[in-house]
């Protein structure tokens, strides 16, 4: 009985070890601006989401897959627009549960009107929304819509070329 | 042939680009509608003859931002209905995609929060499309003209802090309506805010 318990405990320990804890930094607009304006050889893929946004959650696995398959050429950043006071209660538990591997930042800028246009002048403010930038060619594309996996891959390929 | 193709492509691109901004802009005449209120009556802009304008809010039961603004929407109605600018709330989401926004759930919400304003269901989503609303909550402030038509005076957010009403220091809708009451055009006529995308019928 005791032996079984010890085995069970060890098993749960190792499981905990495998499930890495993820960090979510709370940032201001300047951090987002850096992503938009920096000089990087990689394609910048920035996705705006929130834990309460169902269509956002639906497309997150596609961004996860993109990060895993094309991490060498693409930088995926998931910008959470959840409220900053819900970081520990909602965002971090969600990121850990989903084992989100790309960088997750929580953008704590509640005065939305002051920065939405800076991301893209066509953005009405609805999420999900995705911004893809090729820093080398200067090309960028903003999509205010839920993407399918196929659409995301097409978008990335379009901007890579 | 190639040349024609390029021209055609340009036209198509231009049209698809323009479609992003379809809907009404500040200064346009507001389209009237006839939509079912949670009490079963049909409501239109012409329903309230005394109205000098309206605070039209596209909102719903389920969006966290809409919920966060509920009390502030009630307050707007309490502040301005007596001065001729009542709130009309319109729920644009397809309940098939957002079950929490069914007409029955709307009725429950209106009763629970004792909404003092009309809470209408845009079942066909035609009104929402005509106005060009894209997310919830989104406000259109309307002002009645001499010819009895309503003109759009403001489009955008209620204020600049969705999380905390006390921390907001730019009360866009209040300022817009106060200007209209004084007979002045609002200083800020358009703002943007993060919101929940409207769940369109598929």
Task: Check if A148 contacts B (Cβ < 8 Å).
Answer: no
| More confident: B9 or A86 | A86
Mean pLDDT of B115-122: 98
For residue B194, list chain A residues with Cβ-Cβ distance below 8 A: 81, 112, 116, 125-127
- How sure is the predictor about B22, in pLDDT bands with cuts at 50, 70 and 90? confident
Lowest mean pLDDT segment, chosen from A62-71, A121-130, B10-19, B63-72: B10-19
Domain membership of residue A12 (yes or no) is no
Range of A94's domain?
21-160
B118's tokens: 């009309």
On the question of pLDDT at A102 being above 80, the answer is yes
* pLDDT tens digits for range B143-186: 999 999 999 999 999 999 999 999 999 999 999 999 999 999 99
Mean pLDDT score of chain B, rounded to an integer?
92
Single out the residue of A131, A149, A148 nearest to residue A140, CA to CA. Answer: A131
Give me Rg for the CA atoms of chain A. 18
For residue A125, list chain B residues with Cβ-Cβ distance below 8 A: 134-135, 192-195
The Cα of B201 is separated from the nearest Cα of chain A by a number of Å equal to 14
Tell the residue number behind the tokens 């001499």, with chain if given. B146
Instruction: Enter the DSSP assignment of A80.
Output: E
Single out the residue of B66, B65, B89 nearest to residue B77, CA to CA. Answer: B89
Domain membership of residue B10 (yes or no) is no
Mean pLDDT of B117-136: 97
Mean pLDDT of A105-110: 97
Domain membership of residue A3 (yes or no) is no
* pLDDT tens digits for range A4-55: 555 555 555 444 445 667 899 999 999 999 999 999 999 999 999 999 999 9
* Domains identified in chain A, total number: 1
Mean pLDDT of A83-99: 96
* Domains identified in chain B, total number: 1
On the question of pLDDT at B40 being above 50, the answer is yes
Range of B58's domain?
28-197
Instruction: Report d(CA B36, CA B87) in Å as an integer.
Output: 15
- Dump strand ranges (E) for A7-97: 24-27, 43-49, 74-80
Mean pLDDT of B76-86: 98
We report the CATH number of the domain holding residue A131 as 3.40.30.10
Contact in structure between A138 and A49 (CB atoms under 8 Å): no
Contact B157 A112 (CB under 8 A): yes
Domain membership of residue A9 (yes or no) is no
For residue A111, list chain B residues with Cβ-Cβ distance below 8 A: 160-161, 170
Instruction: List Cβ neighbours of B148 (8 Å cut-off, separation of 6 or more).
Output: none
We report the CATH number of the domain holding residue B135 as 3.40.30.10
CA distances to A77, A94, A103, A120, B152 from A86, rounded to whole Å, are 19, 11, 18, 26, 36
Best of B192, B199, B202 to mutate (most A CBs within 10 Å, chain A):
B192
End-to-end CA distance of chain B: 37
Domain membership of residue B6 (yes or no) is no
B169's tokens: 């220091």
- What percentage of residues in chain A have a pLDDT greater than 70? 88
Domain membership of residue A149 (yes or no) is yes
Task: Give the residue on B whose Cα is nearest the Cα of A85.
Answer: B163
Q: Beta strands B138-144 and A74-80: pairing type?
A: unpaired
């Amino acid at each position: 009985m005791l032996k079984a318990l010890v085995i069970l405990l060890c098993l749960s320990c190792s499981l905990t070890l495998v499930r890495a804890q993820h960090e979510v930094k709370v940032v201001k607009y300047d951090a987002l601006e850096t992503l938009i304006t920096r000089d990087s050889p990689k394609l910048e893929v920035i996705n705006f989401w929130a834990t309460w946004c169902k269509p956002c959650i639906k497309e997150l696995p596609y961004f996860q897959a993109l990060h895993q398959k094309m991490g060498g050429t693409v930088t995926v950043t998931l910008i959470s627009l959840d409220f900053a006071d819900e970081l520990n209660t909602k965002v971090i538990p969600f990121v850990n549960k989903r084992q989100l591997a790309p960088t997750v930042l929580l953008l704590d800028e509640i005065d939305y009107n002051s920065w939405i246009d800076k991301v893209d002048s066509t953005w009405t403010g609805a999420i999900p929304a995705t911004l893809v930038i090729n820093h080398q060619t200067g090309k960028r594309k903003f999509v205010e819509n839920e993407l399918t996996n196929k659409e995301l891959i097409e978008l990335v390929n379009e901007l890579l070329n | 042939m190639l040349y024609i193709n390029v021209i055609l492509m340009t036209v198509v691109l231009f049209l698809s680009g323009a479609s992003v901004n379809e809907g009404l802009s500040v200064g346009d005449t507001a389209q009237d509608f006839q939509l079912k209120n949670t009490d079963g009556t049909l409501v239109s802009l012409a329903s309230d003859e005394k109205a000098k304008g309206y605070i039209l809010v596209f909102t719903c039961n389920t969006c966290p931002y809409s919920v966060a603004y509920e009390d502030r929407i009630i307050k707007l109605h309490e502040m301005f209905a007596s001065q001729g600018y009542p709130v009309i709330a319109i729920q644009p989401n397809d309940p098939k995609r957002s079950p929490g926004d069914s007409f029955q759930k709307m009725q429950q919400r209106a009763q629970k929060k004792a909404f003092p304003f009309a809470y209408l269901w845009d079942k066909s989503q035609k009104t929402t499309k005509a106005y060009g609303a894209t997310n919830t909550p989104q406000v259109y402030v309307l002002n009645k003209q001499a010819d009895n038509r309503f003109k759009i005076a403001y489009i955008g957010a209620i204020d600049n802090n969705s999380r905390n009403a006390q921390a907001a220091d730019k009360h866009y809708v209040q300022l817009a309506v106060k200007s209209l009451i004084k007979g002045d055009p609002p200083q800020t006529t358009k703002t943007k805010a993060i919101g929940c995308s409207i769940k369109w019928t598929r």
